[in-house]
A and B are shown apart, each in its own frame.
Chain A
Amino acid sequence: MKNHFELFGLTPAFALEIESLERSYREIQSQIHPDRYAQAGDAERRASMQWTTRVNQAYRTLKSPVQRARYLLEMNGVDVEFETNTQMPTDFLIKQLELREALDAAKQPEALDRLQAEVRAQKALLEQGIARLVDAQKDYAAAAGEVRKLMFLDKLDAEIDLAYEEAH
């Protein structure tokens, strides 16, 4: 079976032109989507659903930086071990604690806006680092550590989203 990158005719890399991925995704969907086979027989309808499902999954994985990174590392035999490896550099952990405290204190949407902007800026920096480690240096073990950090920040970002609901 083709890997997710091959499926979209892309070279495996963390740095990815999202527009190009999007275009390929849409071109492929217009060929195989169940709406194209609404009048077909069971076999084709099933095949269309299975293939579209697979393409959707691949697209979702590649579109998300965290998932794309994990997938690339997996392709290179490195497990990110997010659940088991809890070792993090101390300065990163301290920064995390500060951000979490800020989240607990943020009651107004404006404060959450500021916090979210900061988290997203940090995420962007990490992503640049991951691109260097994976694409240029091919240092997958080091990349795994950065991906773990990115996952931390992703979780925090999601928690900020939840906090908005309570802020209103």
Chain B
Amino acid sequence: MALLQIAEPGLSTAPHERRLAVGIDLGTTNSLIATVRSGAAAVLPDARGRPLLPSIVRYLADGRVEVGYAAEARQSEDPKNTIVSAKRYMGRALKDVAHAEHAPYDFVDAPGMLQIRTVAGVKSPVEVSAEILKVLHARAEASLGDKLADAVITVPAYFDDAQRQATKDAGRLAGLNVLRLLNEPTAAAIAYGLDNAAEGTYAVYDLGGGTFDISILKLSKGVFEVVATSGDSALGGDDFDHRVFCWVAEEAKLAPLCAGDMRLLLVKSREAKESLTTHSEARITAKLSTGEFVDLVLDSETFCRITHHLVQKTLAPMRKALRDAQLGVDDVKGVVMVGGSTRMPQIQHAVGEFFRRDPLNNLDPDKVVALGAAMQADVLAGNKPAGEDWLLLDVIPLSLGIETMGGLAEKIIPRNSTIPVARAQEFTTFKDGQTGMSFHVVQGERELVSDCRSLARFELKGIPPMAAGAGRVRVMFQVDADGLLSVAAEERTTNAQASVTVKPSYGLGDTDIERMLRDSFEHAKDDMHARARHEARVDAQRLLEAVRTALNADGALLSAAEREEIERQAAALAAVAGSNEHRAIRQASEALNRATEEFAGRRMDAGVRRALAGRKIASLDL
């Protein structure tokens, strides 16, 4: 016993205050916020007790913004300024959006990501999402009675780099410290797995309003390992609504509709769809602005027929995920159903038939993602003692590559690689005296670059002139724990005289984000500075605490002189940390970070050794 104690990971930290941390499910249709309080995760409702926040944002001419139920109530009246399903537009250009012509908005196409013209000005989907996050942020602060900063935000597992980056930017814009982007099905698996002490291979089938994910996970005590994920980031309940809408338009022989009528009929279509989950027919009635009346009855048989291909569309990703995981349907112990659209009987039936077992419906499909995110936030905040926490191993959903000759995509990091992951590839110059090389980074499974998502283009300049083939450039892809990519290129022949690092930005650079931040503080210019000061102070406190913890745990890895230097820099930061000089705070923080670099590396090395030593002792003991 005592031996095992010694072998235990030495993560014991000085007792610290519990950190407030929340999990946010930023959904296409509905958003939720949850947190862990006295050991249990719970969704935080609004002042009227409602847990869901409809992901709808209405911009008013006077600068006010309505979010949620208030905006929902006005959507057919003010369709152009009431943005629904903004998530469908995250990180997307106009050409990437299906049925854009049926959306009532005044789209502005912009490089990387489309924007929407409203009475309150042109808005990016990132800003729209940030409005939703701000409301949830305020809700949490009101019900937890404290300033909140740390959040885990969920994203569909099948989101690409552009969509992930856009989500993270929205979090930043809403004043949140985004601890991590977490895949929605993974969050659901955490909530399900912990609640049911599940062990073995599970599938999570998540069909929401606008996205579809399927993830295969291996659950064992203390480890959640995603083995494969697949999906369709543009398939969800909205498409079923759209099918009903088209059916109505055809049956009632309607002429092209104005934006308001279109919204109205889409709302009616969705109501009919939801009612068909529990009824065999649904009546659709509407009075259009043209004076026309719509009065139709849709039966469930017709509904199943007109949406059959959508249900079928979810099967191919399921097959693909299983094959990628090298598993058969019989290896899957249970299928966890997530998302409002999994309530539809034809979905339940199709999934049951595919996996040859009844799907698991014992969790609230609306809340499970937010609850799992809250649990993960609690772990990331360091609120769980070692031994009660868990390890989460997730993957990248789509391959990353580079364009080569002839418009072909060469894969550098294959899909379903466990993150964080990095891979390097070497390219050689192909012309005599070539001094630059340009690169096109893409994401997707298809062979042709034109069928993949373009993430970034960049050029490495300053290669010394050499004979063709003599210049070698190494391109390095790094995907972090959020699934976000950065790319570095470096000339290798001479002593790395030329190098460049890019983070794909999709039209939103840091300056855009700053402008949006400024805009949102338009009415109180001081707020901006107050926020910068506050953030610098919070970050400094966090850093000081982390360094303190590290010194307590692993101080033995340092010589007296090294420790003294770190202590000196920590003291220097502590001296300014409470001040209003946010530049001085940042500088001192950077200095402390530099001073601890070597120490950080040694701690990882020690961690690895500890892990192996623990293994040896544990197996001796057995």
To the question of whether A and B form a pair in one complex, the answer is yes
- Interfacial residues, chain A to chain B (CB-CB below 8 A): 7-9, 23-24, 26-36, 38-44, 46-53, 55-57, 59-60, 161, 164-165, 168
**A164 / chain B contacts, CB cutoff of 8 Å:** 319, 323
B380 near A24 with CB under 8 A, answer: no
Determine if B612 and A9 form an interchain contact, defined as CB atoms under 8 angstroms apart.
yes
Sample 9 A-B pairs with CB under 8 A, ordered by A number.
A24-B612, A28-B612, A29-B393, A31-B9, A39-B19, A44-B550, A53-B478, A55-B608, A57-B421
6 closest cross-chain pairs (CB), A and B: A31-B607, A47-B600, A27-B611, A38-B380, A34-B481, A51-B604
Q: Which of B528-563 contact A (CB under 8 A)?
A: 542-543, 545-547, 550
If A49-B480, A53-B478 touch, whether A30 touches B611 (CB-CB below 8 Å) is yes
Main secondary structure of the interface of A (DSSP, over half): helix
List chain B residues, Cβ under 8 A from A168: 315-316, 319
B445 to chain A minimum Cβ distance, whole angstroms, is 10
**Chain B nearest CB: distance from A30 CB in Å?**
5
- The residues of B that contact A60 with a CB separation of less than 8 Å are 417-418
Q: Are A57 and B179 in contact (CB under 8 A)?
A: no
Task: Tell me, rounded to whole Å, the shortest Cβ–Cβ distance linking B540 to chain A.
Answer: 10
A66 to B600 Cα, complex, angstroms: 34
Closest B residue to A38 using CB positions: B380
Size category of the B interface is 35 or more
Question: Contacts A38-B380, A56-B420, A56-B421 hold; do A32 and B600 have CB atoms under 8 A apart?
Answer: no
Cβ < 8 Å to A, chain B residues 365-392: 379-382, 391-392
Contact partners of B382 in chain A: CB under 8 A: 38-39
Which residues of chain B have a CB within 8 Å of any CB of chain A? 9, 11, 19, 179-180, 222-223, 315-316, 319-320, 323, 379-382, 391-393, 417-423, 478, 480-481, 542-543, 545-547, 550, 589, 592-594, 596-597, 599-601, 603-605, 607-608, 610-612, 614-616
8 Å CB contact of A28 from B480, B593, B597, B611: B611
Q: Indicate which residue in A44, A47, A161 contacts B546 across the interface (CB closer than 8 Å).
A: A44
A24 to B610 Cα, complex, angstroms: 11
User: Which label, helix, strand, loop or mixed, suits the secondary structure of the B interface?
Assistant: helix
Task: Please state if A9 and B180 are interface contacts (CB–CB under 8 Å).
Answer: no
Residues of A within 8 A of B607 (CB): 28, 31-32, 51
**A28 — which chain B residues lie within 8 A by C-beta?**
607-608, 611-612
> Smallest CB–CB gap between B194 and chain A, Å?
15
Please report the C-alpha to C-alpha distance between residue A94 and residue B553 in the assembled complex, in whole angstroms: 62
- Evaluate whether A41 and B592 lie within 8 angstroms (CB atoms) in the complex, with A47-B600, A49-B480 already known: yes
B189 to chain A, nearest CB (A): 15
Q: Which residue of B lies closest to A157 (CB)?
A: B326
Q: Are A53 and B420 in contact (CB under 8 A)?
A: yes
Query: Could you say which of B179, B418, B550 has the most chain A C-beta atoms within 10 Å of its C-beta?
Result: B418
Contact call B480/A34, Cβ cutoff below 8 A: yes
Neighbour of A49 across the interface among B319, B420, B545, CB < 8 A: B420
**Cβ contact of A47, chosen from B179, B180, B393, B604, cutoff 8 A:** B604
New A-B contacts (17) at CB < 8 Å, excluding given A35-B180, A40-B550, A53-B421: A7-B608, A27-B611, A29-B393, A31-B11, A32-B607, A33-B392, A33-B393, A34-B420, A34-B480, A38-B179, A43-B599, A49-B478, A51-B604, A56-B420, A59-B418, A164-B323, A165-B316
Q: In the complex, are the beta carbons of A38 and B615 less than 8 A apart?
A: no
- Residue in B closest to A31 when the chains form the complex, CB atoms: B607
Contacts of A7 in B (CB 8 A): 608
CA distance A30 to B604 in the complex (A): 11
Q: Which of A27, A35, A53 contacts B380 (CB 8 A)?
A: A35
Of B391, B600, B605, which one neighbours A26 at CB under 8 angstroms? B391
Bound Cα distance from A23 to B11, whole angstroms: 19
Which residues in A have their C-beta under 8 angstroms from that of B589? Answer: 41
Which B residues touch A24, using CB under 8 A? 611-612, 615
